[in-house]
């Protein structure tokens, strides 16, 4: 990544195998990078702060590398990135809440994760006692015959909390503003000073449906920091778990989207299949969601031949039962009438926000970390990456269906080629402080973990960025202009994580 | 003597509809559950729910007016009277001499009016959304219903349901295109009026998509029980109406004996069960339509009713 960026991107092969270098920059270079981001020269992968520094991770899909820029902020102020590149906005607001670092020149300086209920301010920076905050000001909307509909944070269904403020003109949605942060758990704070084993547990609990992907990203960062090479069987088992997780979530999502159009039959069938996947996962790996199965250094337990047989039987079941369901989805006119053309996300926006997963791929963003920043074992088992450009709810359903099919293929190959050997490598003794980067494709998209290890091997700072950070704002854009009754459908087709975002 | 029998039948009818209505709702839910591979709640669950709601305390919004408290009883009363006017197991209902099909439409219309007002009374956003959608649906459903009534009245020569049913059961009716159109129109209106899929989803938890449920979100306790039983009565009313007009077999004629009435009751139970199963099957097989497609859907009913009426006029003048 040359001009206007101050250094070339670190290729995937390099940061997958060893510590991730950072490029220290001055304020002027920082601003130039932010401007270049705004001009579309690269994708913002994340933005975070650590003690006395702010960091910007850039990703250039074309060149297959990642670049981390670091700016020292001795006075707790840095030039705003969001001013030039809006996707950074919420990340900057979260940094201000957690660390107290101020983005200078930012237009939106409202708190984001801090709802004034922590009893203190800046929990990761200079902690200070604090009382409640003034009421959160939503963005003003002006116009003829507009009305506001507040929804949440507690919803009628069994879902996570989040507040949505709709402004509607009759049935048409004029503006949607989301407010998140209700499930902030202080993961960053818990990570600081924790052992690697504890960190892996925490990462696996960031977002329940992505337990495998988050834990893998964390383990990857730790292994890169320690320059540890894993036995092939451990990597293959990680792939099996990650694809099972993708399979379960996509099956659940396809059913849930149809259910939000009141087509309960699809959900009934999809739920059965999802349940089969979870039970097979429990039989093969000992936990339905495969939580705590991926640990730094490998995986927690081996896959027995009986477990492998269970998984093969599962693949058979899904392969035979899926096509009739896909036909049912495709041939139910009343359902198609709801999903086609609803919640369209413009490809330009998906590209600008670097939307990962099905959200990006349904809107023409042909990026998959498994292929573009390949990590083993995907380097020898590359996934098929479906892409569409229509960007509506229907497109996101189809991307999921195609990814289910791709996962089934990958799983079969991985099970057939399962290498023998150990499933865990011993972690080397820490040789001083080190930093590593983990980038894993979860079912929602790319999960980034940046990990700084202290000299004693404990975690100094861990930053985990869920794909939802860049998808929530897009949901607001996609919902605009739709009728208000279609919002649940759009929302379910995005299926962003509250927990992973609020951290 | 005849008056006493008539009153007895009428009283029995009012009791029967009240007792069977929650069961019909329970049946529809059960069949839907079985069709989507769930076990489902027992058919008797709606009765238990009603009892539970009656015992619970009422939580009222601070700014609720008297309207909000009165509406559930008004809605229940209007719907119950309307349901009492549709012959279910016996013809010759005492009330049917004072109130006909048009009165039923008017009674249901006033129940809708109060429900929409109550939805807006507390001033929550969902209540307003629900009320506006309900009124939009009503604006299309009521004319369609009236046109269907005209078709039937022209065929049978009366708007009184007992007379219509007796005529439809007689061989004089023959095979008429207009009646087929009226049946389709009436089914469409019934689906829309009862907030069923594809117009509304009674099982949804998504407030933004609700119509009927959005209006009653703020109700609790005995108020909610009244609303729920009224909704169940309305569903039974429409099933009974379709059964009475288009499938009038097995109904006890006016002034017949006890056995005929018992047979009529058995036939009615069968018709209700068939209606419930058909409704549940239909609901499982389709998705809900976009809110703005509902006028198209009801417009079809309106046009069918209109065509049916016109066809009758044309064929009569020839």
Scan for tokens 């759009």, then name that residue.
A490
Complex prediction ipTM = 0.89
Q: Do B36 and A261 touch (CB under 8 A)?
A: no
Kindly tell me the burial class for residue B102, based on how many C-beta atoms sit within 10 Å of its own C-beta (0-12, 13-18, 19 or more): middle
Residue B207 to residue A157: CA distance in whole angstroms? 10
β-strands A77-79, A102-104: how paired?
parallel
Q: How high is the pLDDT of residue A61?
A: 67
- DSSP assignment, residue A432? S
* Three-state SS at A69: strand
Residues of A with Cβ-Cβ distance to B195 under 8 angstroms: none
Choose among B37, B204, B287: nearest Cβ to A335. B287
pLDDT of residue B93: 79
CB burial of B64-88 (b: ≥16 within 10 Å; e: otherwise) equals beeebeebbebbbbbbbbbbbbbbb
8 A C-beta contact, residue A342 and residue A488: no
* Residue A231: predicted pLDDT: 95
- Smallest CA–CA distance, residue B232 to chain A, in Å, is 20
Question: Residues B30, B34, B40, B42: is their CA dihedral positive or negative?
Answer: positive
- CATH T-level assignment (fold) for domain A187-502: Cytochrome-c3 Hydrogenase; chain B (1.10.645)
- Any B CB within 8 A of A267 CB: yes
Q: Which domain holds residue B57?
A: 2-317
pLDDT at B314: 86
Give contacts of A263 with chain B, Cβ < 8 Å. 286-288
For testing contact with chain A, the best of B285, B290, B294 (most A CBs within 10 A): B290
Q: Is there a contact between A492 and A256 (Cβ–Cβ < 8 Å)? A: yes
A48, β-bridge pairs: A55
- In angstroms, the first-to-last Cα distance of chain B is 46
Given this model, what pLDDT does residue B277 score?
A: 97
Please state the domain extents for chain A.
10-113, 187-502
The tens-digit pLDDT sequence of chain A (503 residues) is 567 888 899 999 999 999 999 999 999 999 999 999 999 999 999 999 999 999 999 998 677 799 999 999 999 999 999 999 999 999 999 999 999 999 999 999 999 999 999 999 999 988 888 889 999 999 998 888 898 999 989 988 788 999 999 999 988 999 999 999 999 999 999 999 999 999 999 999 999 999 999 999 999 999 999 999 999 999 999 999 999 999 999 999 999 999 999 999 999 999 999 999 999 999 999 999 999 999 999 999 999 999 999 999 999 999 999 999 999 999 999 999 999 999 999 999 999 999 999 999 999 999 999 999 999 999 999 999 999 999 999 999 999 999 999 999 999 999 999 999 999 999 998 888 999 999 999 999 999 999 999 999 999 999 999 999 999 999 999 999 999 999 999 999 999 999 999 98
Q: Is the peptide bond before A4 cis (omega within 30 degrees of 0)?
A: yes
Question: Which residue carries 């979860």 as its tokens?
Answer: A442
Q: What is the pLDDT of residue A250?
A: 97
How many structural domains are present in chain B? 1
Q: Do A267 and B125 touch (CB under 8 A)?
A: no
Instruction: Give, for all 318 residues of chain B, the pLDDT tens digit.
Output: 678 888 888 899 999 999 999 999 999 999 999 999 899 999 999 999 999 999 999 999 999 999 999 999 999 999 999 999 999 998 877 777 777 899 999 999 999 999 999 999 988 889 999 999 999 999 999 999 999 999 999 989 899 888 898 899 888 887 788 999 999 999 999 999 999 989 998 888 888 888 999 999 999 999 999 999 999 999 999 999 999 999 988 888 877 888 999 999 999 999 999 999 999 999 999 999 988 889 999 999 999 999 999 998 888 765
Architecture of domain A10-113: 2-Layer Sandwich (3.30)
CB contact under 8 A, A171 and B289: no
CA closest to B38 among chain A residues: A268
Please report the DSSP string for B276-306 in residue order.
Answer: HHHHHHHHHHSPPPPGGGHHHHHHHHHHHHH
Q: What is the pLDDT of residue A29?
A: 94
Full-model pTM: 0.93
φ, ψ dihedrals at B311, nearest 5°: -60, -40
Residue A501 host element (H or E): helix A498-502
Within the 244-263 window of chain A, which residues sit less than 8 Å (CB to CB) from chain B? 258, 260-263
Quote the CA–CA distance of A478 and A167 in Å, as a whole number.
14
Contacts of B201 in chain A (CB under 8 A): 262
Give the number of beta-carbon pairs within 8 Å between A and B: 81
**A377 preceded by a cis bond (ω within 30 of 0):** yes
Contact A338 B38 (CB under 8 A): no
How many Cα atoms occupy the beta-carbon half-sphere of A410 within 13 Å? 29
Would you list which residues of chain B are within 8 Å, Cβ to Cβ, of chain A? 32, 35-38, 125-126, 128-129, 132, 197-198, 201, 203-209, 284-293
Please answer yes or no on whether A483 and B290 come within 8 Å at the CB atom.
yes
């Amino acid at each position: 990544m040359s001009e206007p960026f101050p250094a070339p991107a670190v290729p995937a092969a390099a940061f997958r195998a060893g510590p991730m270098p950072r490029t220290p920059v001055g304020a002027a270079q920082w601003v130039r990078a932010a401007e270049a981001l705004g001009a579309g020269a690269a994708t913002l992968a994340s933005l975070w702060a650590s003690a006395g520094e702010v960091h910007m991770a850039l990703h250039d899909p074309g060149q297959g590398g990642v670049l981390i820029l670091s700016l020292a902020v001795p006075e707790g102020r840095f030039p705003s990135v969001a001013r030039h590149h809006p996707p950074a906005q919420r990340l900057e607001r979260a940094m201000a809440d957690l660390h107290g670092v101020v983005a200078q020149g930012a237009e939106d300086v409202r708190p984001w994760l801090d709802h004034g209920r922590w009893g203190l301010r800046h929990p990761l920076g200079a902690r200070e006692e604090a009382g409640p905050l003034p009421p959160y000001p939503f963005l003003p909307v002006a116009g003829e015959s507009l009305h506001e509909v507040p929804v949440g944070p507690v919803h009628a269904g069994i879902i996570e909390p989040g507040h949505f403020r709709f402004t509607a003109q009759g049935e048409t949605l004029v503006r949607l503003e989301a407010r998140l942060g209700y499930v902030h758990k202080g993961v960053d704070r818990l990570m600081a000073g924790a052992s690697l084993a504890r960190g892996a547990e925490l990462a696996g609990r960031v977002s329940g449906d992505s337990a495998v992907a988050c834990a893998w990203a964390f383990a990857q960062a730790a292994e890169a920091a320690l320059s540890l090479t894993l036995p092939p069987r451990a990597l293959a088992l990680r792939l099996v778990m990650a694809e099972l997780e993708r399979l379960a979530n996509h099956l659940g999502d396809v059913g849930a989207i149809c259910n939000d159009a009141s087509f309960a039959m699809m959900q009934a069938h999809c739920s059965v299949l999802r349940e089969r996947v979870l039970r097979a996962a429990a039989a093969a790996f000992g936990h339905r969601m495969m939580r705590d199965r991926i640990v730094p250094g490998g995986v927690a337990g081996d896959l027995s031949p009986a477990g492998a047989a269970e998984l093969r039987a599962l693949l058979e079941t899904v392969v035979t039962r899926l096509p009739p369901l896909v036909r049912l989805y495709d041939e139910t006119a009343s359902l198609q009438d709801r999903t086609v053309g609803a919640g369209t996300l413009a490809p330009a926006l998906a590209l600008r926000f670097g939307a990962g997963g099905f959200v990006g791929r349904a809107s023409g963003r042909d990026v998959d970390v498994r292929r573009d920043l390949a990590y083993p074992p995907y380097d020898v088992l590359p996934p098929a990456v479906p892409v569409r450009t229509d960007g509506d709810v229907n497109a996101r359903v189809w991307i999921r269906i195609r990814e289910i099919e791709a996962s089934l293929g990958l799983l079969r190959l991985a099970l057939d080629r399962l290498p023998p050997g150990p499933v865990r490598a011993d972690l080397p003794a820490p040789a001083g402080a080190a930093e590593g980067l983990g980038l894993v494709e979860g079912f929602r998209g790319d999960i980034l973990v940046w990990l700084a290890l202290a000299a004693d091997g404990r975690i100094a700072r861990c930053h985990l960025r869920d794909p939802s950070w860049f998808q929530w704002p897009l949901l607001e854009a996609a919902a605009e202009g739709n009728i208000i009754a279609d919002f649940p459908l759009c929302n379910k087709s995005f299926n962003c994580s509250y927990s992973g975002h609020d951290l | 003597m005849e008056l006493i029998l008539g009153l007895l039948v009428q009283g029995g009818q009012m009791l029967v509809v009240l007792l069977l209505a929650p069961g019909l709702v329970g049946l529809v839910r059960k069949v839907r559950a079985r069709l989507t591979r769930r076990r489902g709640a027992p058919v008797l669950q709606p009765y238990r729910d009603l009892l539970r709601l009656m015992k619970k305390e009422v939580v009222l919004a601070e700014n609720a007016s008297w309207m909000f408290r009165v509406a559930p009883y008004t809605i229940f009363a209007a719907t119950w009277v309307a349901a009492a006017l549709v012959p279910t197991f016996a013809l010759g209902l005492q009330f049917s001499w004072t109130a006909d099909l048009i009165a039923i439409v008017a009674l249901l219309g006033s129940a809708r009016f109060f429900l929409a007002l109550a939805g807006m009374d507390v001033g929550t956003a969902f209540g307003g959304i629900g009320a506006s959608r309900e009124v939009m649906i009503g604006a299309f459903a009521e004319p369609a219903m009236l046109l269907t009534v005209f078709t039937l009245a022209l065929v049978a020569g009366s708007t009184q349901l007992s007379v219509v049913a007796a005529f439809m059961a007689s061989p004089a009716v023959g095979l008429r295109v207009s009646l087929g159109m009226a049946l389709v129109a009436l089914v469409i209106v019934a689906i829309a009026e009862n907030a069923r899929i594809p117009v509304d989803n009674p099982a949804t938890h998504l407030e933004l998509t609700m119509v009927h449920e959005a209006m009653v979100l703020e109700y609790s306790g005995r108020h909610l029980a009244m609303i729920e039983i009224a909704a169940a009565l309305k569903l039974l009313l429409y099933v009974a109406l379709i059964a009475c007009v288009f499938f009038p077999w097995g109904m006890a004629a006016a002034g017949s004996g006890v056995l005929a009435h018992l047979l009529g009751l058995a036939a009615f139970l069968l018709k209700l069960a068939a209606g419930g199963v058909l409704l549940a099957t239909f609901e499982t097989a389709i998705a809900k339509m976009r809110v703005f497609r509902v006028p198209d859907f009801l417009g079809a009913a309106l046009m069918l009713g209109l065509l049916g009426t016109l066809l009758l006029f044309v064929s009569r003048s020839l």
